[in-house]
C-alpha cells in the first residue's frame, strides 16, 4: 500500500500558467480532500469529494478546480496561477476503508513567481 | 462556520516534562476532534482523536480531553522525548471530512 501519493513534490510556476496537482490513493477510500498550508494559518480546505463524480467547495475554493472521475484519483487544477497561490498543498483521503482517520500525502510545494 | 483556535504557537520543554496544547472551537455541532503531528517536510499524521460522546482518551504517553460545554479540547503528552519535537495541529469537524484546523503548535523537546 502506497497510501496517498502526490505529484509533483515541488513546482515553480509563472503567474498566469496553469497546472494540475495529482493525487492518488490506493486504500479504496470514498472521501478525498485538498488542503493548502500557509505559515501561521494551519491547513485550509480547498475542495473535497465524497465519491466518484461528486465534488464540493471548501473554505478557500477560488482559483482552483477539481474533478473525481475515479475513486482513486482527485486532481487539483490551477487554471491561471497567482502569487497568492504559493503554498504547500496536501491531499487527504478517508472513508470506510480507513474509518474516520484522514491520511495525508507528502505534499506539493508550489511557488508562483 | 467552524473556527478553531490553538495555543500556544510554540512550546519548549525539557525531555521528560509534560506538554499541553489547548484548542477551542466555535460550532457546537462539531463532533470529531483529531490531533495531527507534522514532521518537517512531511504530511500531517493522526496521533489521536476523540468523538463528542467521550470526555477523555489515552494512548500510551498521549491523551486528549474534551469539554463540550466550554467547547475546548486539549492534547497532553507525558514523559516527552526529543522525537516528539514537531508541529501539532488540532482540528474539529461535524462528521469526518471537512476538517477545520487550528494554526499549529511547534513543540521543541530539549535533551
State pLDDT tens for residues B9-23.
Answer: 999 999 999 999 999
State residue B56's pLDDT score: 95
Bridging pattern class, strands B19-25 and A43-51: unpaired
Taking an 8 Å cut-off on Cβ atoms, the answer to whether A59 and B42 are in contact is: no
State residue A97's pLDDT score: 47
A76, A89, B22, B77, B79 from A36: Cα distances, Å: 11, 4, 23, 27, 32
Mutation target among A102, A107, A108 for the B interface, most CBs of B within 10 A: A102
Residues lower than pLDDT 70 in chain A = 1, 96-99
Cβ contacts of A107 on chain B, cutoff 8 Å: 41-43
State residue A12's pLDDT score: 97
> For residues A23 and B41, which has the higher predicted lDDT (pLDDT)?
A23
Torsions phi, psi of B89, nearest 5? -120, 135
Question: Whose grid coordinates read 522525548?
Answer: B81
Q: How far is A91 from chain B (nearest CA, A)?
A: 9
Does residue B104 surpass a pLDDT of 50?
yes
* Nearest CA among B18, B16, B15, B30 for reference residue B75: B18
State residue B87's pLDDT score: 97
Band of pLDDT at residue B96, cut at 50, 70 and 90: low
Q: What is the pLDDT of residues B67-87, one digit of tens each?
A: 999 999 999 999 999 999 999
Question: Whose grid coordinates read 505529484?
Answer: A7
Cβ contacts of A45 on chain B, cutoff 8 Å: 98-100
B8: left (phi > 0), else alpha (psi -120 to 50), else beta? beta
Alpha-carbon gap, residue B38 to B33, rounded angstroms? 16
Alpha-carbon gap, residue A44 to A18, rounded angstroms? 21
Q: Which of residues 42-61 of A touch B (CB under 8 A)?
A: 42-45, 48, 50, 58-59
Q: Which positions ≥6 away from B69 have C-beta within 8 Å?
A: none
Q: Which of A4, A41, A100 sits opposite B96 (nearest CB)?
A: A100
Residues facing residue A23 across a β-bridge: A6
Q: Which of A42, A101, A103 sits opposite B102 (nearest CB)?
A: A42
Q: Which of residues 6-65 of B touch A (CB under 8 A)?
A: 6, 9, 32, 34, 36, 41-46, 49
Burial class (CB in 10 A: 0-12, 13-18, 19+), A108: buried
Taking an 8 Å cut-off on Cβ atoms, the answer to whether B32 and A44 are in contact is: no
> For residues B54 and B56, which has the higher predicted lDDT (pLDDT)?
B56
Alpha-carbon gap, residue A94 to B49, rounded angstroms? 14
Amino acid at each position: 500500500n502506497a497510501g496517498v501519493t502526490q505529484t509533483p513534490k515541488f513546482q515553480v510556476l509563472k503567474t498566469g500558467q496553469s497546472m494540475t496537482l495529482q493525487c492518488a490513493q490506493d486504500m479504496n477510500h470514498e472521501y478525498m480532500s485538498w488542503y493548502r498550508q500557509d505559515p501561521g494559518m494551519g491547513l485550509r480546505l480547498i475542495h473535497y469529494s465524497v465519491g466518484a463524480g461528486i465534488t464540493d467547495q471548501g473554505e478557500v475554493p477560488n482559483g482552483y478546480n477539481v474533478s473525481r472521475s475515479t475513486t482513486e484519483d482527485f486532481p487539483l487544477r490551477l487554471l491561471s496561477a497567482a502569487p497568492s497561490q504559493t503554498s504547500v498543498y496536501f491531499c487527504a483521503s478517508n472513508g470506510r476503508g480507513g474509518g474516520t482517520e484522514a491520511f495525508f500525502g507528502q505534499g506539493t510545494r508550489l511557488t508562483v513567481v | 462556520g467552524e473556527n478553531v483556535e490553538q495555543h500556544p504557537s510554540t512550546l519548549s520543554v525539557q525531555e521528560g516534562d509534560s506538554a499541553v496544547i489547548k484548542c477551542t472551537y466555535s460550532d457546537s455541532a462539531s463532533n470529531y476532534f483529531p490531533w495531527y503531528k507534522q514532521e518537517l517536510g512531511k504530511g500531517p499524521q493522526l496521533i489521536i482523536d476523540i468523538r463528542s460522546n467521550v470526555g477523555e482518551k489515552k494512548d500510551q504517553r498521549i491523551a486528549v480531553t474534551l469539554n463540550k460545554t466550554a467547547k475546548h479540547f486539549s492534547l497532553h503528552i507525558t514523559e516527552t522525548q526529543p522525537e516528539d519535537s514537531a508541529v501539532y495541529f488540532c482540528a474539529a469537524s461535524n462528521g469526518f471530512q471537512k476538517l477545520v484546523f487550528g494554526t499549529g503548535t511547534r513543540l521543541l523537546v530539549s535533551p
